[in-house]
Structure 1
């Protein structure tokens, strides 16, 4: 695309203010990989005996 002289002063001021778009960022530069332990962190803290503490029930809250 070649630039053509625009007679619109608003377009000239927009181009002077914003110019061009910033350069693209590669996906590899936006992500970061980390190593986890076996089983992951989510399973390591699971306790089946106290799992009911995380659920809300109105009947239990009212003591019924």
Structure 2
């Protein structure tokens, strides 16, 4: 993304999409929210694996 100060907009270098600062922040927030459940799933899996690994060592 490139910022054009005359129009106060961000322009994508590859596709030419033009966004204001507010629009860009809204899109980033939506994408961040979409990635949330996947990250939680990864954390849960790692926690379960760690518990399994530690319980195996105790035996």
Q: Which has the higher contact order (CA 8 A, sep 6+)?
A: 2
Structure with bigger gyration radius: 1
TM-score scaled by length of structure 2: 0.28
Which has the larger helix fraction?
A: 2
